[in-house]
Amino acid sequence: MLQPLLHDLVSTVMAPASALSDADGQIRPAGVQGLFCADRRVLSQARLLVDGREPESIGYAPGAAGQARFVSLTRWLGDPTTDPTVRIERSRELSPFGMGEQVEIVSTASSPVTATVTVELACDFAAVEAVKSGRSGTPVPAGEAGDGRLTWHADTTRVTVTGHGAHATAGDGARLRWEVSLPPRGRATLRWELAVEDPTAVVVPPNATLEWSPPHVTAGDRRVTRLLDQSLEDLRSLRLAEPGEPGDAFLAAGAPWFLTLFGRDSIWAARMLLPLGTRLAAGTLRVLARRQGRRLDPDSGEAPGKIMHELRRDAFDLDDKGGRLPAAYYGTIDATPLWISLLHDAWRWGLPDSEVRALLPNLQAALGWLADHADPDGDGFLEYIDSSGRGLANQGWKDSGDSVRFHDGRQAEPPIALAEVQGYAHQAALHGAALLDAFDLPGGDRWRDYAGALAERFRAAFWVDGPHGPFPALALDRDKRPVNSLTSNIGHLLGTGLLSREESAQVAGLLAAPGMAEAFGLRTMSSEEGGFSPLSYHCGSVWPHDTAIVIAGLAREGFDEQATTLAEGLLAAAESFGYRLPELFAGDARDLVGRPVAYPAACRPQAWSAAAAVVIAHAAAGLYPDVPAGRVELRPLSGAPLGALAAGLRVADAEVEVRVDHDGAATVKGLPAGLRLEEAVTPSSPRP
């Protein structure tokens, strides 16, 4: 069966709950529409009727986190004039385990108005993976609890709907009904609420205190602030914690399919938000450390020291071809080195030594996985293969089954060694060595030697020739042949230290060439490759987080022009998507389509897509702290491409203001005591 489309639906989220409706606010019993909570659909219909008819929609607008407002008309009511005189204002607000709606009937008519308002309700308790695969559950009859209340039960989950002042009808045709009488120019307010009791949920809302500080950004390019405002609201709606540990928050990957802990996604989102504080990173690190692998299990992919990929309530059916992930799944090749680098980067941004020290045993275990389990064939590269036959065939961030392709479009056979993963491992080894040295633990020299040897092996095995010069291949296949397609993966190598200055310049130039950068951001695969399609999930689309990671690497290495080009593409896309960047969108050329084309099954909001806004603002400000060393570097993007900018970032739990004027000159105020400012020198390198 086909996966339901998402791009035209309105998504309202307050994790672990998410509601998907049509643009008129109606939740219809079709496709993916409904209210989901902790991997179950707890409401499959919520259809508002006035006198048995659906109001006519005229617009909707998202509000703060977890809120949306829909406006419609009932033109058969009120005065018989050209102008409508009765409108319906439907305000939706989600809580982590529930949803409430306020329905206001507003009349400007000169005569009284009477109407019968009903809300038709249904619940099927369908598992989220079933809905994702195009299936649905069997509706469960509602029970009546009195006083305008209806209930549904499944296993340990209980759903209760309360209609204040409503008459409730139970059974298969569950509904709430109100009789409304309005005087001339009158108004009536109706309200109904849904609450979920779910003691077996594996994710819960965190403490109320937000883990990051608003960055207080102003910019000459107003798109930056609009994108930040919407993105931070979306990120606030994606916060989660584990039961029993509400103080350790992490970000769910995205709505509606991934409102849970995802190792790679949660790590990257926390890493991108480090300029706003270290508390989110600390919570993410601790949550994943508690679930760090302890044994070898080919079915789940678990191994000692390995960081997990995905957490679910129950085993998760990937598709109708037998793919099935266990509830706790470890099938990821990159989450472990990324966890190491998140710990290191949080330390550099000011995570207290006591919190870092508590995680050092987990750091040593993660390095142990890197040494003992990440390279099963002993060729010196990190590689993966799904030995269970039921898990993910590809276990990097491009985890679709067809994402690793040669230049001619052929798919590579596993085991697969991805290019960017070697960069992550190189950086993790250096980061791990720095932490071991700083906390008087042995092994630093071993990991520096590991990084140096890996860089030499990578240089010899991955670099291939292409029509525009040499470049790193996407991967090595099972026969150690370079998978010779040009992809965005190589952009993740920037800033990892794996490349020389000349190699970085070559990569930067290729990423900024039209085949990669002529869309609204960075394409996942060059348009010159045989496997390219602008609507391929991983072979030609644009992923905002992918583009943001490359922007950060380009900016850090001094390739400001290329970073600016990609940032401009994302800002243009954000404007088109109402400043809520989706998981991905089509990789069509900008001069061909004028505005980005939606990928029809993209999740929105998505944590690392929203976090891309922080990456853009941070790259423009150019503040790079090293709190343990007592220094802060300042190197904003040259030429102030976003116009004059002011950003209140957070270093060592203190607000630090960076100002960049129209000419690109930068100043800093509010550095904590003990930190000295160093103006970073742009690294000299050949032009791409």
Express each pLDDT in 460-482 by its tens digit: 999 999 999 999 999 999 999 99
Q: What is the pLDDT of residue 146?
A: 85
The per-residue pLDDT for 324 is 84
User: Which residue has tokens 């330390």?
Assistant: 347
Order of strands across the sheet with 56-62?
Answer: 56-62, 67-73, 86-95, 98-107, 187-197, 157-163, 149-154, 143-146
Q: Note the pLDDT tens digit of each residue in 493-502.
A: 999 999 999 9
Can you name the residues that pair with 384 across neighbouring β-strands?
A: 416
Query: How would you class 322 by CB atoms within 10 Å of its CB: exposed for 0-12, middle for 13-18, buried for 19 or more?
Result: exposed
> Mean pLDDT for the chain?
96
- Between CA 176 and CA 556 the distance in angstroms is 58
Look at residue 261 and tell me whether its pLDDT is greater than 90: yes
Banded pLDDT at 684 (limits 50, 70, 90) = low
User: What percent of the chain has a predicted confidence (pLDDT) above 90?
Assistant: 93
- Please check the confidence at residue 590 and state whether its pLDDT lies above 60: yes
- Residue 236 per-residue DSSP state: H
Q: Which helix (H) or strand (E) holds 118?
A: strand 113-122
Q: Cβ(514)–Cβ(522) under 8 Å?
A: no
279 closest CA partner among 653, 625, 632: 653
- Would the pLDDT of 688 be above 60? no
The pTM score is 0.96
Residue 88 CB partners (closer than 8 Å, separation 6+): 48, 50, 55, 71, 72, 73, 74, 103, 104, 105, 106
CA atoms within 13 A on the CB side of 124: 20
pLDDT tens, 49-62? 999 999 999 999 99
Place of tokens 């598992």: 127
Rounded to whole angstroms, the Cα distance separating 622 from 525 reads 28
The residue among 167, 177, 200, 151 whose CA lies nearest residue 51 is 177
Give me the amino acid identity at 9. L
According to the model, what pLDDT value does residue 208 have? Answer: 86
Are the CB atoms for 259 and 13 separated by under 8 Å? Answer: yes
- Report whether pLDDT(349) > 60: yes
8 A C-beta contact, residue 224 and residue 617: yes
What pLDDT, on a 0 to 100 scale, did the predictor assign at position 576?
A: 96
* pLDDT above 80 for 322: no
In this structure, what is the dihedral angle of CA atoms 217, 222, 225, 226, given to the nearest 10 degrees? 160
Confidence grade of residue 389 (pLDDT, cut at 50, 70, 90): confident
CA 636 to centroid of chain Cα atoms: 26
CA-based radius of gyration for the chain: 26
Place of tokens 């409304």: 180
CB 600 within 8 A of CB 5: yes
CB 436 within 8 A of CB 447: yes
Is there a contact between 175 and 119 (Cβ–Cβ < 8 Å)?
yes
Q: In whole angstroms, what is the distance from residue 10 CA to residue 33 CA?
A: 9
Residue 105 has pLDDT above 80, yes or no: yes
Distance CA 120, CA 524 (A): 43
Going by pLDDT thresholds of 50, 70 and 90, the confidence category of residue 686 is low
Query: pLDDT: is 465 or 319 the higher one?
Result: 465
Classify residue 490 by its DSSP letter.
G
pLDDT at 100 over 70: yes
Q: Say what the pLDDT of residue 683 is.
A: 57
3-state secondary structure of 225: helix
3-state secondary structure of 150: strand
- What's the confidence (pLDDT) of residue 507? 98
Domains, the chain, with CATH or none: 10-197 (2.70.98.10), 218-295+323-363+383-632 (1.50.10.10)
Model confidence pLDDT, tens digit, residues 126-182:
999 999 988 888 999 999 888 899 999 998 999 999 999 999 999 999 999 999 999
